[in-house]
Amino acid sequence: MELDDKTRYALEHTELVRAPRQELDTFGSSVIDYYVVTELVGNVSVVRDGKVIAERPKIVTPAYLVNVEGFSEQARRYMAMIARERPHESGIFYRYKNEPGGMSVVSEPIKQVISKLDSQVEAQRNRLSTIIKGVEELWDVSLLMFIYELTTRSVRTNMVELDRRGFLDMDADGVPHGAREYIEELFEHTARNLSRAPELVVELNRWGLFPEYQDRFFSLFRGR
């Protein structure tokens, strides 16, 4: 897919001024505080802040991803092909949520604004804070570029840690042990709060495991 000129320009002129001091957590969610600084005109800069919440990386296989919503039909066909060729190849799937904060217009040159922000972030000692120099019209493209690069940096470490604990090992049904662990967590959450039941059903169906667990699932509702 060809990028349009504006998007290509935004990517070429995005600069990660301050990278996070740590990678994404393997066994929990990560909250990244971000500042995207852009130049409006001359010595006028715009600062946008917010949080990107990275959910705990989920262990998946191509067969699992075929059943995940949010992909285009072309992407689903591609995943179906991979699932036929390598149905039990483990990988990890990252899901993000952007929570925009505020926006401020500052009558200062962009280099000066970035320098002040860097000192502020340093004083806060948040190892997951980041400063991005972006392009005003497509500042969110600059943010997405950062998220992609952070994921790329984190994936190797996350995979190594999961493999070390045996979470990527497959059982006889071709389901990673880590996926079974996550299903057990969902059962525990649902036993305490039945509103989590739809989430559990979705996860079981994505792995094709609902028939195996259905008696245990329905037992959660007995006596309620």
- Look at residue 101 in the predicted model and tell me its pLDDT: 93
145 Rama class: left (phi>0) / alpha (psi -120 to 50) / beta:
alpha
- Alpha carbon 182 to its chain centroid, in Å, reads 17
> Quick one: tokens of 37?
């600084």
- Look at residue 87 in the predicted model and tell me its pLDDT: 74
- Look at residue 79 in the predicted model and tell me its pLDDT: 73
Helix (H, G, I), strand (E, B) or coil at 219: helix
pLDDT tens digits, 5-35:
888 888 899 999 999 999 999 999 999 999 9
**Sequence ranges of the domains in the chain:** 5-57+94-164, 177-219
- Look at residue 2 in the predicted model and tell me its pLDDT: 58
Return the closest-CA partner of residue 179 out of 68, 91, 55, 77: 91
State how far the alpha carbon of 49 is from the alpha carbons of 28, 93, 111, 117, 122, in Å. Answer: 23, 25, 17, 11, 16
pLDDT tens digits, 122-149:
998 889 999 999 999 889 889 988 998 9
Q: Name the pTM for this structure.
A: 0.79
Return the closest-CA partner of residue 55 out of 99, 90, 98, 97: 97
Q: For the chain, list residues with pLDDT below 70.
A: 1-3, 69-72, 223-224
- Look at residue 3 in the predicted model and tell me its pLDDT: 66
CA atoms within 13 A on the CB side of 44: 6
